[in-house]
Amino acid sequence: MTRTRSETTLPACYAIVLPGLEEIAGDEIASRGEVKKTSRGVVVFRLDEIDRRLLTLRTTEDVFLLAWGTDSLTYRATDLESIERWTAKVDWPHLLRIHHTIRPRPTGKPTYRLVTQMEGKHGYLRRDAGKALARGLAGVFPDSWKPVEENASIEVWLTIDQATAVCGLRLSDADMRHRTYKHEHQPASLRPTVAAAMVWLARARAGEVFADPMCGAGTILAEQLVCDSRVCVIGGDIERSAVRMTRSNLSRLGDPLLNHWDARRLPLAPRSVDHVVSNPPFGKQLSSPTQIGPLYRAIAREYDRVLRPGGQAILLVSDAEALREAVEPFGWKVKKRTRVLVLGQMAQLSVWRKPA
């Protein structure tokens, strides 16, 4: 069932995204509704209809119905009274009704879970904020509902980052961030939402050629196939085990061309690729960080050879300066750069265009 804004007052929604992806996620959300506000790791938005389509966003880690939000936490203990008061004022039955249209009420005894996340130096502990949230929710869940630590039918989250806080009912589950196609993992594998952000930036069209020459477990290729399987998807890796893993992860998504190859000498014709979308190994994944410069120079030369004039490269790297130096001889123009936290380290996501 779909709830529309004209039928009833619909609450705002918010998404939790990886820091650095706010603008890209905001762009994806804006294609479906109105972005109201963006702060570190959070995008608040409104939709005319709230239904299961919300769960098909690709660049967001989780989506919620907004109960309340603020930008003016004081860092002092009085925040705890505010959290309790704001939570108590929410029309929870209304939010729960909308929640049940997306995630049907489970049969049997319902369960619930309260989650509190906190970043910043506040004069209270995360646990205290969680207790304030629980006090504000007093009486909302019948005594027969059981609090659990995971797989709850209802989750209320409170996310605090410095002076900003959002509180809401979680609509997504783990499938939004982990996906269902990823049976096989390798340690350096990307989070699917980061791969989806790269695919979103590429905007490949039907019939165009999209290549990830260092595909690892195939996350970027998978995200492209989910987004539009009419694109011609090509991938490969120097490790046979990675190619096998990619084949298994992509088995239900489409029909990509997969190869065991060296990205420094691709078996592809010159000017045959529209989009190279890839994340080469980070320094810590190589036997020596000094290998980064030569590797980036070799792949930049090869990507320039296979890209058609006007084609683009979307690259996620740990060493932005080494990449800039590597692509300099080819006159590629940078269209976008953003920093994003990947595998616990800052990385740079950049979009380059080969001159037409």
Ligand X SMILES: C[S@@+](CC[C@H](N)C(=O)[O-])C[C@H]1O[C@@H](n2cnc3c(N)ncnc32)[C@H](O)[C@@H]1O
**CA dihedral of residues 269, 275, 279, 283 (deg, nearest 10):** 60
CB of 206 to ligand X, least distance (A): 23
Q: CB nearer to ligand X: give 66 or 273.
A: 273
Please, what sign has the CA dihedral across residues 130, 135, 136, 142? positive
Q: CB nearer to ligand X: give 165 or 277.
A: 277
Q: CB nearer to ligand X: give 130 or 283.
A: 283
Q: CB nearer to ligand X: give 111 or 279.
A: 279
Please, what sign has the CA dihedral across residues 7, 11, 12, 18? negative
Tell me which DSSP letter residue 291 carries: G
Tell me which DSSP letter residue 325 carries: H
CB of 301 to ligand X, least distance (A): 12
CB of 131 to ligand X, least distance (A): 39
**Distance of CA 63 to CAs 45, 58, 296, Å?**
10, 11, 36
CB of 218 to ligand X, least distance (A): 6
CB of 347 to ligand X, least distance (A): 10
CB-nearest residue to ligand X: 216
Neighbours of 262 (CB within 10 A): 16
Q: Which token pair is 140?
A: 């909302």
CB of 195 to ligand X, least distance (A): 6
Q: CB nearer to ligand X: give 239 or 325.
A: 239
Q: CB nearer to ligand X: give 172 or 224.
A: 224
Q: Which token pair is 290?
A: 């000094």
CB of 258 to ligand X, least distance (A): 12
In terms of Cα–Cα distance, which of 302, 294, 248 is closest to 278? 302
Q: Which string of b and e fits 292-314 if b means at least 16 CB within 10 Å?
A: beebbbebbebbbbbbbeebbbb
Q: CB nearer to ligand X: give 159 or 348.
A: 348
Task: Show Cβ contacts of residue 166 under 8 Å, excluding neighbours closer than 6 positions.
Answer: 14, 42, 44, 64, 66, 68, 69, 158, 159
Q: CB nearer to ligand X: give 38 or 219.
A: 219
CB of 19 to ligand X, least distance (A): 19
Residues forming the site for ligand X (CB under 6 A): 186, 188-190, 195, 213-217, 219-220, 237-239, 242, 262-264, 279-281
CA geometry: angle 281, 16, 151, nearest 5 deg: 95
